[in-house]
Amino acid sequence: MKYNMKYKLSNYLFLVVIWAFTGLTHSQVPGNEPIMQTRVYKTIGLTKLKLYIYQPSERNDMEKLPAIVFFHGGGFNERPVWQFKSQCQYLVEQGMVAILASYRTNNRLFDCIADSKSAIRWVRTHAVELSIDENRIAAAGGSAGGYLAACTGLIKDFDEKNEDLAISSGPNALVLFNPPLDLPAHLSDTTKRLERPTYHAKKLVRCLKGRAIEISPFHYIAEGSPPTIIFQGTADKSVDFHQATRFCEEMKKFGNNCEVVLYEGRDHGFFFKYYGDEDFTSTMEYTGKFLTSLGYIKGETTIAK
């Protein structure tokens, strides 16, 4: 009995030491809940930009898992990084590493793009450490975050200059939720729709200073662009759903894999779990099938009702 108690205590102390040195901020016993680890991927002055990395609680560390990096929405302003936590939990259950990324906000679009690219590059740089397959890294996000994910996949410039540019900041696939993809058209449409443009819209236009086309994913579509799936509501008051359909038409002209899933009558952000299970479940099952077709996920991808 004493031997068993000592054995259990030593095992417990061993696990405490392991958790402390791996930097885990939250852990779970084996089950449905993933393990979450927080890492700083970039420091700008006093600002530390973080990744919140979710992994399956039971996994073979010798197996390289596919990964997906989510960028939150919010019109390039400060928003909770946890917007896509439920999506992360679903994809971890399907055998992926799912990551939430913070980035600089306050309408600094060029900084936002640089940060998003840095996040993808950091994940690829640390692929061996995280047991991630560097050739199966997807970028995802909603609204402004979907735009940033698209930028990482399509726009070749605006990387952080002090990084190792030999390591690609481009993802291998894109999962986008109601993103603005044609930036000049989006700004024009926003101005036309609003009799009096909002302070945010005016600030965004001033920030771009006529350079919108330089950071417009639609204008960078080319042969070899990452396979993409887009979820879009037809009643979206923030982003014209025709942007998604035009984007995919252009992608297919260049022989790229692109799919739009339209949701009739849905407004902006319809896919978040806190708005209900139906559209969250639907979008994640479509995501699962899309990633399965690319070899990221194996087996059944439906959500238990």
Distance of alpha carbon 237 from alpha carbon 231, whole angstroms: 15
Which residue, 149, 185, 188, is CA-closest to 170? Answer: 149
The mean pLDDT value for 253-272 works out to 97
Phi, psi (deg, nearest 5) at residue 139: -115, 145
Backbone dihedral region for residue 97 (phi beyond 0: left; psi -120 to 50: alpha; all else: beta)? beta
CATH architecture group of domain 30-293: 3-Layer(aba) Sandwich (3.40)
Sign for the CA dihedral angle at 203, 190, 78, 169 comes to negative
* Token representation of residue 197: 């443009």
Which tokens in the block code for residue 264? 């009739």
Give yes or no for residue 107 having a pLDDT over 90: no
**pLDDT over threshold 80, residue 260:** yes
User: pLDDT averaged over the chain?
Assistant: 85
pLDDT band at 194 (very low <50, low <70, confident <90, very high): low
Q: Quote the pLDDT of residue 61.
A: 75
User: According to the model, what pLDDT value does residue 186 have?
Assistant: 85
Using an 8 Å Cβ cutoff, are 71 and 149 in contact?
yes
Question: 280 and 263 in contact (C-beta within 8 Å)?
Answer: no
Residue 124: pLDDT over 90: yes
Predicted confidence band at 9 (pLDDT cuts at 50, 70, 90)?
A: very low
pLDDT of residue 188: 77
- Residues 201-218 have pLDDT tens digits of 666 667 676 788 999 999
- Name residue 44's beta-bridge partners: 47
User: What does the pLDDT look like over 10-24, one tens digit per residue?
Assistant: 443 333 333 333 333
Measured distance CA(245)–CA(10) in Å, rounded: 59
